[in-house]
Structure 1
Amino acid sequence: MSRRIEISEVGPRDGLQIERNFVPTEQKIALIDALSKTGLSKIEITGFAHPKVIPQLADAETVAAGIRRAPGIRYGAFVPNARGAERAVAAGIDDLKIGVAVSDSFNRLNVRMTTEQGMQAIDEIARVARGTQSRIVGGIATAFGCPYEGPVSRERMHRMLAQLLELGAPIVYLADTTGVANPDRIRRTVEDLRAAFPQAELGLHLHNTRGIGIANALAGLDCGIKHFEGSIGGLGGCPFAPRAVGNICTEDFVHMAHEMGIETGIDLDALIAVARQAQEILGRPLPGMVMKSGKASELHAMDAARVKVD
């Protein structure tokens, strides 16, 4: 198990994209600026998809232009195709987050392409990024199974990872896009890919759809995974997944890591404050637990009020 890990915050994009009511641009910018002060080194701020497909991200350029960029932080954005990549490069995005689902069914719903077409699109995105200040960061969606097709092709996943590595992706995140994974499946998948691609730097993008997202993250830690993605307050849920639930909660995962003596470089108190800010922006309770119950290291007076945490 690594004693230091790196967390990429995806709440402003993956977390907000499923929201039905449009979150005002200035509130998105305020949330990103607050996240930039927590010690995070990577923040996914938006996505350059067609606004008719994901209306919540229609203000991508405005968000990218409006944030206060802090030194040492890489600001990323999801890009589904070459046109999205061109927009992201023009907007000064550091990391072009590219991803294709192993499952054809899911990929058609997510980006209106088959998996094979999506792999061709990745080549086109890489060509757009070449020679610019932007780099590609890979993702393999439905890496642990698909709600429409069930188990996914191991051969196809190997081929996708090989392509991303050949294109120079420094990290490839394996995504449990719809929360079908379990700790044993995490271990078996990571071990299989590491055996075939020992040079690959793998990360995990996990959802808490069935309540075991943190358990899956722990399995990743046990495998030596150093790169994780999380969403502030547990925001999110894929709009193309049935009964979608949010990503693993960033501050809950950071709290667990710190309690285990694993360094993240993140100010947990500042992160908890941002989670509460996100909750206020959306006007409803979010799934994150540490912002409600407090850190395990906090001591309480014996006569303190007992309050039920929902």
Structure 2
Amino acid sequence: MTVDVVEVGPRDGLQNESRTLDVETRVALIDRLARAGARRIEAVSFVRPDRVPQMAHAEEVLDALPSLPGVDLIGLVLNRRGAERAARTRCTELNMVVPVTDTFAERNQGAPTAVLLEQAAEVVDVARAAGQRVSVTLAVAFGCPFEGPVKADQLAPVVEAVLALDVDELAFADTVGVGVPPQVDALAALIPDAITPPRLRFHFHNTRNTGYANAWAATRLDLSRYGGRVALDASVGGFGGCPFAPAATGNIATEDLLHLLRRGGVAVADAAPHDLGPLVDVASWLSERLASPVQALLGRAGDFPSGERS
């Protein structure tokens, strides 16, 4: 069992904060995360700046980044237009978001789920033509703030439609932090045995203090069908939230997640750092610039054992 940790701090960690960071600071954040050991970073989002001003100037951020050998840069997109912008950049991967309920889809992206699935097919075409990998994240898969619980018979056709697109990775997102561990198993089981599945990823928020339990449940799945590995999104410092989800709070924190995985004997891909101090330092640095408190706990309690090597 191996876990890939996807650092989403520069995107999801910033998009719901009241303070908007300038390009130079966002570049510094990505660079600091790479130096702290992050190897898959969701760096930018190609969205309308009038709706999410924290994500404006995506191209400028990417252009200003230093060389980051061995680091994959992910760009989040909501439609073909965003994908076409991303295709002209140094992103190595595009991540298309498709909410699984029509109400959330309309509020987040201005179109129902069925229309967004059609746009996802276009995004895949754009990414393939540009030589980029492509993933689809199914938002509010664990529950919707407007429509309530999402039943399997509602979600299954969406999963089937995405799998038909031949994406590189499928992600289930607990966008508003309502998920519990049994749902992790139930969502993974929606992928039919007859289909060769893509890589599997989960995106958890800790809104109701279940994010880390859900992450642990994902590491307990039978991953033999997925190449023996799963990916987990996390945000340095636990920052994050969705601007279009009421009361949405932060993601699970990268440093807390890595501590859990390491102490639990779960292998992390790309030689994740044993010394989590640099990530704690990045979280503190970011907190000062956002004027927002760190949500992660590792920086308060300290690593255990101190300076552990495993």
Q: Same fold (TM over 0.5)?
A: yes
Contact 1:136-1:168 within 8 A present in 2 as well: no
Q: Which runs of 5+ in 1 are unaligned?
A: 300-310
Instruction: Give the drift of 1:52.
Output: 1.1
* Distance (whole Å) between structure 2 residues aligned to residue 44 and residue 251 of structure 1: 16
Structure 1 residue runs of 4 or more that deviate by more than 6 Å after TM superposition:
none
Instruction: Give deviations 1:104-154, integer Å, cap 9, x for gaps.
Output: 111111111111111111112122222213221111111111121122243
* Distance (whole Å) between structure 2 residues aligned to residue 276 and residue 62 of structure 1: 25
Q: Does 1:139 align with 2:137?
A: yes
Instruction: Give the drift of 1:203.
Output: 1.1
- 1:22 is aligned to 20
* Distance (whole Å) between structure 2 residues aligned to residue 127 and residue 262 of structure 1: 35
- 1:266 is aligned to 272
- 1:92 is aligned to 90
What is the one-letter code of the residue matched to 1:252? D
Contact 1:137-1:172 within 8 A present in 2 as well: yes
- 2:115 is aligned to 117
* Distance (whole Å) between structure 2 residues aligned to residue 118 and residue 177 of structure 1: 17
- 1:126 is aligned to 124
Q: Does 1:242 align with 2:246?
A: yes
What is the one-letter code of the residue matched to 1:175? A
What is the one-letter code of the residue matched to 1:222? R
- 1:47 is aligned to 45
Instruction: Give the drift of 1:26.
Output: 0.8
* Distance (whole Å) between structure 2 residues aligned to residue 96 and residue 195 of structure 1: 26
Overall identity of the aligned pairs, in %: 36
Contact 1:92-1:133 within 8 A present in 2 as well: no
Contact 2:236-2:255 within 8 A present in 1 as well: yes
* Distance (whole Å) between structure 1 residues aligned to residue 73 and residue 272 of structure 2: 16
Q: Does 1:232 align with 2:230?
A: no
- 2:226 is aligned to none
Task: Provide closer, same or farther for how the CA distance between residues 8 and 56 of structure 1 changes in structure 2, counting only shifts above 3 A.
Answer: same
Contact 1:92-1:134 within 8 A present in 2 as well: no
Task: Provide closer, same or farther for how the CA distance between residues 259 and 122 of structure 1 changes in structure 2, counting only shifts above 3 A.
Answer: same
- 2:211 is aligned to 213
Matched ranges for 1:139-288 at <5 A: 139-193=137-191, 195=193, 197=195, 199-223=197-221, 224=223, 226-264=230-268, 265-267=271-273, 268-288=276-296
Equivalent pairs counted in the alignment come to 297
What is the one-letter code of the residue matched to 2:241? G
* 2:10 alignment partner, SS class: helix
Contact 1:48-1:79 within 8 A present in 2 as well: yes
Task: Provide closer, same or farther for how the CA distance between residues 153 and 212 of structure 1 changes in structure 2, counting only shifts above 3 A.
Answer: closer
Q: Does 1:60 align with 2:58?
A: yes
Instruction: Give the drift of 1:54.
Output: 0.8
Instruction: Give the drift of 1:198.
Output: 5.5
Instruction: Give deviations 1:228-251, integer Å, cap 9, x for gaps.
Output: 000110000111111111111111
Q: TM-score, normalised by structure 2?
A: 0.91
Instruction: Give the drift of 1:194.
Output: 5.8
- 2:72 is aligned to 74
State which drifts further: 153-162 or 69-78: 153-162
Instruction: Give the drift of 1:189.
Output: 2.1
What is the one-letter code of the residue matched to 2:17? E
Q: Which runs of 5+ in 2 are unaligned?
A: 224-228
* 1:109 alignment partner, SS class: helix
* Distance (whole Å) between structure 1 residues aligned to residue 115 and residue 201 of structure 2: 24
* 1:245 alignment partner, SS class: coil
- 1:303 is aligned to none
* Distance (whole Å) between structure 2 residues aligned to residue 171 and residue 192 of structure 1: 15
